[in-house]
Amino acid sequence: MKKADILVIALVLLLSIGFYVIYFSNNLITHDSLGVEVYYKNLLVYEQELKDDIEATVSIETKSGILIVKIDLDGDGEFEKIDEYTNVETDSREIYNVVHIEYGHIHMEEANCDNKLCLNMRIGKTLSTPIFCTNNVLVKLVTNDYKIITG
């Protein structure tokens, strides 16, 4: 390789790193514009604006063809029902998912899916891939300014 080749490669690399830094510094998400949405089979079942002091645990389960959504806001482990859907097509087997939501850290706490991969997925304060469970539960980070398409 000639010195000119190395110089061109280094210049292209530096330019791409520069554009990358500029792009993501201009597209930072402020904490007052973040929210989280939880879906079951493309039906929005829970949404919450993310704030510094938020801590919630959301339970999504199906029993006898009825989708039940519960929430625990104070962390005592006792869930209260916030919604019940009877007109949603549910799977033949009963599902159970628990999503823990707090500012800067969202994760699937429990799931009775087959592969349990969703239990290893996390969402932080930045744009990231959504949490998808094979129980047809999707958790994604959105902004209030515009919806972020992450999956």
CA gap 49, 143 in Å, rounded: 9
Higher pLDDT, 99 or 103: 99
| 103: its two tokens | 């500012």
> Per-residue pLDDT tens for 7-48?
999 999 999 998 887 776 655 555 567 888 999 999 999 998
| 58: its two tokens | 């959301």
> Using an 8 Å Cβ cutoff, are 96 and 61 in contact?
yes
Please determine, for residue 147, whether its predicted confidence score (pLDDT) is greater than 70.
Answer: no
Query: What's the confidence (pLDDT) of residue 117?
Result: 94
Query: What's the confidence (pLDDT) of residue 19?
Result: 84
Residue 33 phi, psi (nearest 5)? -110, 5
Average confidence score pLDDT of the chain: 84
Q: Which of 47-51, 93-97, 128-132 has the highest mean pLDDT?
A: 93-97
Q: Hey, what domains does the chain have and what are their CATH numbers?
A: 30-143 (2.60.320.10)
CA-closest candidate to residue 93, choices 64, 120, 132: 64
Q: Label residues 2-11 b or e (16+ Cβ within 10 Å = b).
A: eeeeeeeeee
Angstrom distances, CA of residue 50 to CA of 56, 57, 104: 10, 13, 9
If you count them, how many residues does the chain have? 151
Please determine, for residue 110, whether its predicted confidence score (pLDDT) is greater than 80.
Answer: yes
Angstrom distances, CA of residue 121 to CA of 22, 48, 63, 106: 28, 19, 25, 9
Query: What's the confidence (pLDDT) of residue 14?
Result: 93
| 139: its two tokens | 């958790």
Averaged pLDDT for residues 124-130: 75
CA-closest candidate to residue 68, choices 47, 57, 78, 82: 82
Read off the pLDDT band of 118 (50, 70, 90).
Answer: very high
Query: What's the confidence (pLDDT) of residue 25?
Result: 63
Instruction: Tell me if residue 80 falls in helix, strand or coil.
Output: strand
> Per-residue pLDDT tens for 37-87?
999 999 999 998 888 888 899 999 998 889 999 999 877 778 888 888 888
